Amino acid sequence: MIVGTGPGKLEYLTLRAKEAIEEAEVIVGYQRYLELIKPLIEGKRIYPGRMKEEVQRARTAVGLALEGYKVALISGGDPGLYGMVAPVLEVLEAKGWRPGGPPELEIIPGVTAALAAAARFGAPLSTDAAFISLSDQLEPWEVIAKRLRAAAEADFVIALYNPRSRRRKKQFEKALAILKEVLPQDTPVGIAKGVFRENERLILTNLRELVDYLEEIDMATVILVGRRDTRILNAFLLTPRGYGQKYELD
């Protein structure tokens, strides 16, 4: 079972995700995500993993499942988007696996970080959105840059995942330069850090002033970049869907 655990607070797990973790005999996951679901996994056999060791975690989980254990492989947010499903399927493919198993596979979707962040800012996304990770660990920067430019030019709201880490800081500055080339400088931006967690921090700014908050931005941050028509509504962001042009609102 590859289990999406959402933004990191137990309340935002799905009922099925909680049940799957409870059913599991063995838990495999990135150490930090395991801490967020600690009350659910106490007393179980646990294989914690470190960042960037996705393939190792996938192999561990597949190996244990093939031994006959009921395994929950924990993946923060949604496991299908920047999560553990792709490495598991790559590992299974190399083993000549077929759907149906062995091992049997269940993928349990979750609330992805951009949607959790959006919920804290009101309606920044509303409609067509592009989700882009700034990590060039597995994807060449040129491809990421092309997507950023295309998304900004075609008026998508943009959610940036993995914007900046202690070792990888330049990509964010390069991304910001691209966005500032294409979009108006006062395009609203929401910075959402540790959404729904104890240390949650939300910052509302715009492309021009985003540079002032660089030090706040880390791997637990999602950045929501508005469209040309996204507006700030007090502490909220609103990308209108155009109801006001068609209907009486009041």
When the beta carbons of 215 and 234 are compared against its own copies, the nearer one is: 234
When the beta carbons of 127 and 211 are compared against its own copies, the nearer one is: 127
| Per CB under 8 A, 72 contacts its own copies | no
**How buried is 248 (Cβ within 10 angstroms: 0-12 exposed, 13-18 middle, 19+ buried)?**
exposed
Task: Find the part of the chain contacting its own copies (CB under 8 A) among 30-38, 89-97, 181-189, 212-220.
Answer: 89-97
Query: For its own copies, which residue of 1, 21, 116, 191 counts as binding (CB under 8 A)?
Result: 116
Which string of b and e fits 29-68 if b means at least 16 CB within 10 Å?
A: bbeebbebbeebbeeeeebebeeeebeebbbbbbebbeee
Closest by alpha carbon to 176, among 163, 165, 167, 166? 163
Residues in binding contact with its own copies, number by CB under 8 A = 83
| Per CB under 8 A, 51 contacts its own copies | no
| Per CB under 8 A, 102 contacts its own copies | no
When the beta carbons of 98 and 167 are compared against its own copies, the nearer one is: 98
* Residue 113 contacts residue 7 (beta carbons within 8 Å): yes
Joined tokens for residue 164: 């900046």
| Per CB under 8 A, 168 contacts its own copies | no
Task: Find the part of the chain contacting its own copies (CB under 8 A) among 128-136, 169-177, 185-193, 205-213.
Answer: 128-136
In single-letter form, the type of residue at position 137 comes to Q
| Per CB under 8 A, 76 contacts its own copies | no
User: How far are the Cα atoms of 4, 87, 206 from residue 81, in angstroms, in the given order?
Assistant: 10, 11, 26
| Per CB under 8 A, 81 contacts its own copies | yes
| Per CB under 8 A, 128 contacts its own copies | yes
Instruction: Tell the smallest beta-carbon distance from residue 125 to its own copies (Å).
Output: 5
**How buried is 111 (Cβ within 10 angstroms: 0-12 exposed, 13-18 middle, 19+ buried)?**
buried
When the beta carbons of 98 and 166 are compared against its own copies, the nearer one is: 98
| Per CB under 8 A, 175 contacts its own copies | no
